[in-house]
Amino acid sequence: MKAATPTGANIALFLAGLLFGLGLAVSGMINPAKVIGFLDLAGAWDPTLILVMGGGLALTLPAFHFILKRPAPLYGQKFHLPTLTQIDGKLIAGASLFGVGWGIAGFCPGPALAALVTLNSSVLLFVAAMLAGMALHRLLLE
Amino acid sequence: MENFTPITGLIGGLLIGCAAVLTLWASGRIAGISGILSGLLFPHKTDTGWRALFIGGILIGAACFAWFNGGVTIEIQTSPGLTVIAGLLVGFGTRLGSGCTSGHGICGIGRLSRRSFTATATFMFVAIVTVYLTRHVLGGNL
């Protein structure tokens, strides 16, 4: 039986979620039209998404390097990192299917969740379908 | 580039980066939204609380922005039928491909994972082609 998540980690994860949601909203990525504006190279191109990813990576690239040299996270026994290392068909097929859905709607999972606060019916529909897609994968392939 | 918002894009990106760094540093976990969310669909006893706190944080963070900003703009032009298809593809694809824009794009590239570089390049390319097809070849007739 796995140990429950330490309280300190739970508090940090809630704060991290808060920062994440705030970042998605501040950056405008919560708006699918803005994401499609980035993906639409042949249209009125909006490069904002590059700065969002660049801002994120400017912190994660150096910080992860040092954090992962530590023996363990601040709260908890070990790091929970992905174990797969091979580039396989599932990775490419999954990323491709995701890319098609992202291109059609302009929503990836984080912004879609954050956009739920608008109570817009299209967002609710998208998130419901996204959860169904995740469940389908679980039932068919896991 | 009349829609380009570099300052808020960069600030939002830095907030998202802070969230990812806090998550790994404090809890040893990857701030990948699709992975965290899908774990809530079929919950385990000891593995649910931190996921719910993180997702709750996203919603509250976005709601705080909407509150202080006096609302949040989202524009959705996708028909309900296509929204459902896109949601299914995003949900299924992110599970098959082990991650989305946050897990692969911000965190995976942040720890120099080859799989994440590959996945990010794949879903970006496919999404750009998808937008080109839906916006410029099919002419928005979908």
d(CA B80, CA A121): 9
d(CA A131, CA A136): 9
Q: Do A13 and B11 touch (CB under 8 A)?
A: no
**Which pLDDT score is estimated for A5?**
85
Q: Do A52 and B16 touch (CB under 8 A)?
A: yes
CA distance between the termini of chain A: 21
Neighbours of B13 (CB within 10 A): 28
**Helix axes of A32-39 and A89-105: crossing angle, nearest 10 degrees:** 120
Q: What is the ipTM of this complex?
A: 0.96
- Taking only the tens place, the pLDDT of each residue in B4-63 is 999 999 999 999 999 999 999 999 999 999 999 999 998 887 789 999 999 999 999 999
Instruction: Return the domain boundaries, chain A.
Output: 7-78+87-141
A124 touches chain B (CB under 8 A): no
pLDDT of A1 strictly over 50: no
| pLDDT band, very low/low/confident/very high, at B86 (cuts 50, 70, 90) | very high
Over residues B61-82, mean pLDDT: 96
Over residues A7-13, mean pLDDT: 96
d(CA B72, CA B60): 13
Give the residue from A25, A73, A16, A111 showing the smallest Cα distance to B19. Answer: A16
Residues of chain B numbered 58-97 and touching chain A (CB < 8 Å): 58-66, 69, 72-78, 80, 82-97
- Taking only the tens place, the pLDDT of each residue in A41-82 is 999 999 999 999 999 999 999 999 999 999 999 999 999 999
